[in-house]
Structure 1
Amino acid sequence: MNDDIKIKPYDGPVGGWGSMTSIAHHVRDEAAATALPELARQNKPDGFACTSCAWAKPAKAHLAEFCENGAKATFAELTRRRVGADFFASHTVSELRGWPDQALEHQGRLTEPLRYDAALDRYVPVGWDQAFEEIGRQLQALRADDPDAVVFYTSGRASLETAYLWQLFARLYGTNNLPDSSNMCHESTSVGLKAAMGQPVGTVRLEDFEKTDCLFFFGQNVGSNSPRMLHPLQEASERGVPIIVFNPLHERGLEEFTNPQRPLQMATRSTTRIASRYHAVRPGGDIAAITGLCKALLALDDEAQAAGRPRVLDVDFIAQHTQGFDDFAAFVRAQDWADIEATSGLQRAALTESAQIYAKATATIGVYGMGLTQHELGVDNVRMLVNLLLMRGNIGRPGAGACPVRGHSNVQGQRTVGIAEKPELVPLDVLARQYGFEPPRHKGMNTVEACASVLNGRVKAFLGLGGNFVRAVPDHHAMEPAWQRLPLTVHVATKLNRSHLLPGRSSWLLPCLGRIERDLQAGGVQTVSVEDSTACVHASRGQHAPASEHLLSETAIVAGLAQATLPPNPQVDWAGWVADYARIRDAIEATWPDQFAQFNQRMHQPGGFARPLPAVQRQWKTPSGKAEFKAPARLDAAFAGDGGDDVLRLVTLRSNDQFNTTVYGYDDRLRGIQGTRDVLLMNRDDMRRLGVADGSTVTLACAAADAGPNPEGVLREVPGLRVVAYDLPAGCCAGYYPECNPVVPLSHHARESHVPAVKSVPVRVRAQGQA
């Protein structure tokens, strides 16, 4: 960590010279100068798909089709630093557990398969054949006893090809325990959109941003999490499109942008305004805010009818394509403006003004992120946004629709090819015929259920295809000791992280090729594919030399584990699939012919090929055959605190120097924080009210009303946080993820979707040393 901590408000734009300087710093820091030529291929039709975010890749790419964080991801993958047997000979696992997260990943790429030796407290090298044989033997024994005691987790970075083999491996093994990172972020989207529209993904394509005349943004920080999206937003702003933002913190990426690819803008240091209206909604107050918009819209429609003017609501669309509008409208009309204002933290006049803008627009896109999904009523949040869009027919119209912005580069695609714990989402009958076996039909574990089953001892083995699982989940101070009691843990990874330092009784690190590296198999250099946030599928081809001659591809590792574990099946050709990934794509097409027709022929087209989305054609795959309005359970989406004026709502954040649990550095330039992540952002009025000074050190403690005791008896608190005065709504505070995860109870998750509710956590702030 940088000892030179500096906290200073940042009023510059996103992009511009700040991004350029940061990129230059990180290429030096990773000693990754050989990565610079690869940036020219990043997110290009003939190049590789970024390992960072899942934002769409245009058919006509910009000269530089990468963002600051995308470049950092590339430098991190192509770092010159290495972690091999010599590194572990110098450091015990117990010692490494004391290192910061960033320092662990900063050591570089894993270079050879490793087995944990408990007597030495070190990872030691092992051959691939031995690793597969021993892991397979242990998995066979567990399968004979209870296949549902094994969890097959995937993080979101694996290709479509690898993900398909992974889910097939799990189901041939006998389980649907296929949790993934969607369970921790956008599962509320998958549940909410499917119930409302009949499809679990959004309806917006990249070209819709060229046709829209209004954008609503809810809980999505584009500047840090999907900066390439700023290009269509900049163009929309310059056309005069209103961009109305609802977000607790004022994020610079939603306020101003300087485009590094515009020489004049860079030379003059000029900026483009992004948000035309910025509403600092209270955490958990999005349902109330959208209810206010809908209430104002109904009033405008009433006025139009009384005056004999054209209706504000799209009544023809509502009548022909939807169900449940009358009950929903009755709910909205019954809500009192005072309750809406108190819960949302916004004024009636502000919501009415935004509703008036919406009423004049002909095509509106609703963009959102985890600020909607990670609450107790995360699914209701998603459905409320859909309700707002349905009121004016903004589904299935060019330039309009629901646009969830996904995180990891292929997290949406994994679900498309069968990574799901819910058997009803997967064509099991097709898989049964295709591979001559009877797939398990019962529900598997999602992420929260898998954690609970680790804590209670039901889970006996965890196989992780990427990710930093233990660090990413809630209650991880309780998870860490329970994790080390697991009989078997296996991690497929590129770099070292904290989860690897919590070895089970038998623990293995299986290092894989990165996506940017050349994947040479018996059939030649291989290409993989990914799906972006707009349901378009792209080819990705690595060309860089691998970090080590001992690395295997993720696909080869999955096949190796499966062959060592499962009995032979003449209809499952693991070796043939590894030799030629085109054969895996043929298999995917055979499983989902409607989604992947001519997969191998179409995957290289610029801009990707678009999967069919029924709702775009106004075909509603719901039980009623129509889009469904639904009233929320209540106005407040958050879990309650245990009472008292000192309870705040915590929002967990990512910095612009991190991606998910991967921390590239300790500078959050866009929030003016340098040299530390141990901070708590607070409203100045709350600081005065609670007697907390700017720069003081505090402990953050869970204040949930119904959390129950920590399963391991560990206090749910995070000490040593520096208070930073910040512009955010009264009654809330903000801190970094995953550092603040210990205050989040595992039981605090979204209804229906089980997404951890980390965007409105009830907490107390206690001066350091205070009881």
Structure 2
Amino acid sequence: MNGCRAKGSWVADEKDTVHYSGAAGGWGSVRGMTEVLARERPTPAALDTLRRQNKPGGFMCVSCAWGKPKHPHPFEFCENGAKATLWEMTSRRCTPEFFAQHTVTELRDWKDYDLEHQGRLTHPMRYDRATDKYVPCAWDEAFAAIGTELKRLDPKSTVFYASGRASLETSYLYALFARMYGHNNLPDSSNMCHETTSVALKKAIGSPVGTCVLEDLEKCDAIFFFGHNTGSNAPRLLHPLQEAVKRGVQIVTFNPIRETGLERFKNPQSPVEMLTGKETEISSLYLQVKAGGDIAAIMGMIKHVLSTEERRWREDKRHVLDVDFLAQHTTGFETVKAHAEQLSWEEIERESGLARADLEKAADVYIAAERTIFMYGMGLTQHVHGSDNLTTLVDLALLKGSIGREGAGISPIRGHSNVQGQRTVGISEKPELVPLDRMAEQFAFDPPRDTGLNTVDACEKIISGEVKAFIGLGGNFVRAIPEQVKMEQAWQSMRLTVQIATKLNRSHLINGEVAYLLPCLGRSERDMQVTGAQAVTMEDSLSCIHGSQGNGHPASDHLKSEVAIVCGMAKATLPPNPKARWDDWTADYGLIRDLIEESYPEMFADFNARVFTPGGFYKGNAARERIWKTESGKAEFTVPTSLSALGLGDKEGRWRLMTLRSNDQFNTTIYGYSDRLRGIEGTRDIVLMHPDDIAAAGLAEGQVVSLASDADDGEHRQVDGLTVTPYLLPRGCIGAYYPETNPLVPLWYHDEASKTPASKGVPVRIVT
């Protein structure tokens, strides 16, 4: 099969599979950045922006949400962070002339990469249905038309979506606009990835976010990883992991796929490692759990910890468990203990796909460690029983008091750079999470109190015709969601669609009757308003707030900031209100931060004075202080409802599909066709399978197949043209790229508690 073999020597246990024999980082990372540099031909300011990236007083990366250190490296960016910056600061321009040459219908046949490769959008555009083309329009015209349409609609028939990149300032005003207009329909990208975290952790420990800070990685004795591809999705995390390994920290990884970044790392900032080829082995134990098998794996570890506690206490009166913590701070321990004890090792091994000896070895690492951190990604959250994944992981952590201590805790690894922060300042469909009484007084209005629409709810009501308007603050919603075919058909029945963006993507080509495409400044660009250059802020996944100030020249003189666009729409839509000072807020973002501080005084005290605090300022976390804001007032043990996180069980001919990101993408943004860390080059149209599964299914490497839904609901969902590619996966599990295989995910197939799409365990059949 041309284009899919990695260069380099074969590794013994990877014979006859596609793989990457090098380390994460190293010269491969440098080459990856160089290739994007050559493709995008960024503006001269890009190199200076990279120099300032993720540093105090500088520019905060638009890629992942990993924390920013107080004392940064000389180059505090990773391969994907550099790609994101170079992608934003490209010299390519997508102008009105481009749209004059292409109909929207024609552009729908273009690949994601080709659409975004046209470069930065330069002018506000209006969709002209008669010609099926976008045509330029004035900003005032766009705002007036959007305002007119929104005023004609029932506010509750509209949806205001936010991707995870918009700043705290923009997000706060966007949520305020929605509520002053009259709805809480504020889904965001968290609904598609880590909403399970917000629901499950809130239930178990009273905090919707993780409990760790960056310094905990310097004090821990063990780290457990679940369901995360760190090498591609949060590469800067590899630096503290490497430092931890060098001081003796044991890292145990549970992941269906052997991801290079959690196997070995070569630091691109170390001349010695770059010149000598020296690399660091990251995981001391790497267990390829079956997709959906994490609950069983964690319960196996809990079972072994409990049996070891019993044996040690019996033999020499020593505790493994933190019995004082359990008695003072938790509830439900005995119920989980009884559940673990009645589970058989046979069923644990069957559901996890792992041997008892390996699970006991992993549990022994936890038993030996005084301070343990548990980190996870969407491999845990994107399952029908994803919430059970997380509460069971909390159960394991609670056994030894590993929450609310230095060097220990639970730490979700989030994707978008401010997705956690948006929820902090009001982007939420759940009114109970927002200080509505305080905001009602601030702005002299009566906020809606009913629960709004999350992503799945919004999609359902778009299909039913109940949603009439959609405003997208960034992102690529139509491409990112499940049930794409049905959604694209229904989307065009809406009255109004508005997309705020920096580059062209597929969501801009599926339009309502009235549609606008509004280009905004990128975070890397200088944001000049009436009072001067503006800074914005965002929250990382470790709950620290960072300031960011771009220095690049805007891609076009016709761009507006996200703040200015939100304020422009709000001003054109809402009746006059002396406390809604949209023009003043556009002119001075410091005023917006004052509003945020007034709404959230506990987290944002002295906000403006702390914007550029080195390492960010910590907003606080009650669970870290062992203050449990749960129903019981204690950390809660929870018995999982199932040993499998899947929504549908196995049957003959059914495969467990995991949707994957490549090394050359960030969410739906495709930078290129190199998945270097998996050894796949030149294509995204593949399906990864274990070599023995290929043989058993009567298939052959290089054969082109289709994947069809096997969700037992009678719906036809199919993705064609995928090349069979051998890869070391657990038997019965297959992998394919997101968003290309999103059409296979039913809209109803989601976590039961959070409605996060269950994209890591999709039931499919292989069609030849």
Please report the TM-score for the alignment, with normalisation by the length of structure 1: 0.97
The correspondence of residues 286-301 of structure 1 with structure 2, limited to 5 A, is 286-301=294-309
CA distance in 2, matches of 1:675, 1:360: 45
In the alignment, which of 384, 401, 411 is matched to residue 393 of structure 1?
401
- The reply on whether 1:17 has 2:27 as its aligned counterpart is yes
Which residue in 1 is equivalent to 2:426? 418
- CA deviation after TM superposition for structure 1 residue 709, in Å: 4.1
- CA deviation after TM superposition for structure 1 residue 270, in Å: 1.1
- The reply on whether 1:82 has 2:93 as its aligned counterpart is yes
TM superposition outliers: structure 1 runs of 4+ over 2 Å: 2-9
The correspondence of residues 475-494 of structure 1 with structure 2, limited to 5 A, is 475-494=483-502
CA distance in 1, matches of 2:195, 2:128: 37
Could you list the runs of 5+ residues in structure 1 that have no partner in the other structure? none
Which residue in 1 is equivalent to 2:613? 605
Which residue in 1 is equivalent to 2:65? 54
- CA deviation after TM superposition for structure 1 residue 503, in Å: 1.2
The correspondence of residues 149-548 of structure 1 with structure 2, limited to 5 A, is 149-548=157-556
Q: Identity across aligned pairs (percent)? A: 57
For residues 758 and 608 of structure 1, do their structure 2 counterparts lie closer, same or farther at Cα, with a shift above 3 Å needed?
same
Which residue in 1 is equivalent to 2:116? 105
Output the amino acid matched with 2:80. Answer: N
Tell me the alpha carbon deviations over residues 313-355 of structure 1, each in whole angstroms, 9 at most, x when there is no partner. 1110000000111111111111111000000000111111111
- CA deviation after TM superposition for structure 1 residue 121, in Å: 0.6
- The reply on whether 1:657 has 2:664 as its aligned counterpart is yes
Output the amino acid matched with 2:557. Answer: E
Is the CA contact 1:639–1:704 (under 8 Å) kept in the aligned structure 2? no
Output the amino acid matched with 1:109. Answer: R
Which residue in 2 is equivalent to 1:756? 757
CA distance in 1, matches of 2:379, 2:211: 19
- The reply on whether 1:700 has 2:707 as its aligned counterpart is yes
Which residue in 2 is equivalent to 1:644? 651
- CA deviation after TM superposition for structure 1 residue 203, in Å: 0.4
For residues 632 and 171 of structure 1, do their structure 2 counterparts lie closer, same or farther at Cα, with a shift above 3 Å needed?
same
Which residue in 2 is equivalent to 1:687? 694
- CA deviation after TM superposition for structure 1 residue 766, in Å: 1.6
Is the CA contact 2:4–2:679 (under 8 Å) kept in the aligned structure 1? no
- CA deviation after TM superposition for structure 1 residue 681, in Å: 0.2
The correspondence of residues 125-136 of structure 1 with structure 2, limited to 5 A, is 125-136=136-147
CA distance in 1, matches of 2:94, 2:621: 44
CA distance in 2, matches of 1:274, 1:9: 18
- The reply on whether 1:119 has 2:126 as its aligned counterpart is no
CA distance in 2, matches of 1:282, 1:25: 35
Tell me the alpha carbon deviations over residues 676-697 of structure 1, each in whole angstroms, 9 at most, x when there is no partner. 0000000112111111111111
- CA deviation after TM superposition for structure 1 residue 625, in Å: 1.1
Tell me the alpha carbon deviations over residues 21-57 of structure 1, each in whole angstroms, 9 at most, x when there is no partner. 1111111100115212211011111111100000000
Matched pairs, number = 756
Is the CA contact 1:27–1:33 (under 8 Å) kept in the aligned structure 2? no
CA distance in 2, matches of 1:247, 1:6: 22
SS at match of 1:74: helix
Is the CA contact 2:5–2:19 (under 8 Å) kept in the aligned structure 1? no
Output the amino acid matched with 1:528. Answer: V
Which residue in 1 is equivalent to 2:14? none
Output the amino acid matched with 1:103. Answer: D
Which residue in 1 is equivalent to 2:12? none
For residues 4 and 617 of structure 1, do their structure 2 counterparts lie closer, same or farther at Cα, with a shift above 3 Å needed?
closer
Please report the TM-score for the alignment, with normalisation by the length of structure 2: 0.98
Which residue in 1 is equivalent to 2:10? none
SS at match of 1:720: strand
Which residue in 2 is equivalent to 1:733? 734
SS at match of 1:61: coil
Tell me the alpha carbon deviations over residues 628-683 of structure 1, each in whole angstroms, 9 at most, x when there is no partner. 00011010010115x63221100110001000000000110011111100000001
- The reply on whether 1:593 has 2:601 as its aligned counterpart is yes
CA distance in 2, matches of 1:546, 1:491: 19
Which residue in 1 is equivalent to 2:724? 723
SS at match of 1:651: strand
Is the CA contact 2:495–2:512 (under 8 Å) kept in the aligned structure 1? yes
- The reply on whether 1:669 has 2:683 as its aligned counterpart is no
In the alignment, which of 22, 37, 41 is matched to residue 52 of structure 2?
41
- CA deviation after TM superposition for structure 1 residue 604, in Å: 0.8
- The reply on whether 1:28 has 2:29 as its aligned counterpart is no
SS at match of 1:192: helix
Is the CA contact 1:193–1:382 (under 8 Å) kept in the aligned structure 2? yes
- CA deviation after TM superposition for structure 1 residue 727, in Å: 0.4
Which residue in 1 is equivalent to 2:76? 65
SS at match of 1:216: strand
Tell me the alpha carbon deviations over residues 343-397 of structure 1, each in whole angstroms, 9 at most, x when there is no partner. 0000111111111111110000000000000000111111111111000000011
Tell me the alpha carbon deviations over residues 484-535 of structure 1, each in whole angstroms, 9 at most, x when there is no partner. 1111000000000001011111010000000000000011000000000000
Output the amino acid matched with 1:31. Answer: R
Tell me the alpha carbon deviations over residues 195-228 of structure 1, each in whole angstroms, 9 at most, x when there is no partner. 1111100000000000000000000110000000
SS at match of 1:207: helix
SS at match of 2:214: coil
CA distance in 1, matches of 2:504, 2:104: 11
Is the CA contact 2:297–2:348 (under 8 Å) kept in the aligned structure 1? yes
CA distance in 2, matches of 1:732, 1:605: 45
CA distance in 2, matches of 1:399, 1:644: 43
Output the amino acid matched with 1:758. Answer: S
Root mean square deviation, CA, Å: 1.0
Tell me the alpha carbon deviations over residues 585-611 of structure 1, each in whole angstroms, 9 at most, x when there is no partner. 000000000010000001111000001
